[in-house]
Amino acid sequence: MRKQIIKSAICSAMAGMMVAGNIPEEINGKKVKVIKKGAFKNCDRLTKIEIPNSVTSIGEGAFYDCSSLTEIAIPSSVARIGSCAFVNCNSLKEITIPSSVTNIDEKALGF
């Protein structure tokens, strides 16, 4: 099965207006497996995001500089969190990482 990837164009296309959202489990009938590198980078108005159970990997810098992000639900399907995935998410005070995550890259959480 071909992986669907959330592309970094999401934020720029929305011109920074996205404040909350749910990543769909499927796009055009294909399961979303990966949140690509920098997918939500610099979405400074994003406050909440829900990741579907189909996602297994959060890419490098996926939520980099989402300074207003306060809530994120990481499902137990996720096995990897890429480097700098949550760097400069200064409003994110708490994050629960499920035991399914077996690979957390360097500085994934910003420290």
Q: The domain that contains 93 carries what CATH number?
A: 3.80.10.10
Q: Domain range for residue 96?
A: 1-111
pLDDT: is 6 or 63 the higher one? 63
CA distances from 88 to 24, 62, 79 (A): 25, 11, 22
Residue 11: per-residue pLDDT: 47
| Residues 23, 46, 109, 72, CA torsion sign | negative
Kindly give the residue spans of alpha helices, DSSP state H, lying in 9-73. Answer: 9-13
Q: What is the pLDDT of residues 33-64, one digit of tens each?
A: 999 999 999 988 899 998 999 999 999 999 99
Instruction: Give me the sheet containing 48-50, strands edge to edge.
Output: 20-22, 48-50, 71-73
Residue 18: per-residue pLDDT: 57
Query: In total, how many domains does the chain have?
Result: 1
Distance CA 36, CA 13 (A): 16
- What pTM was estimated for this model as a whole? 0.82
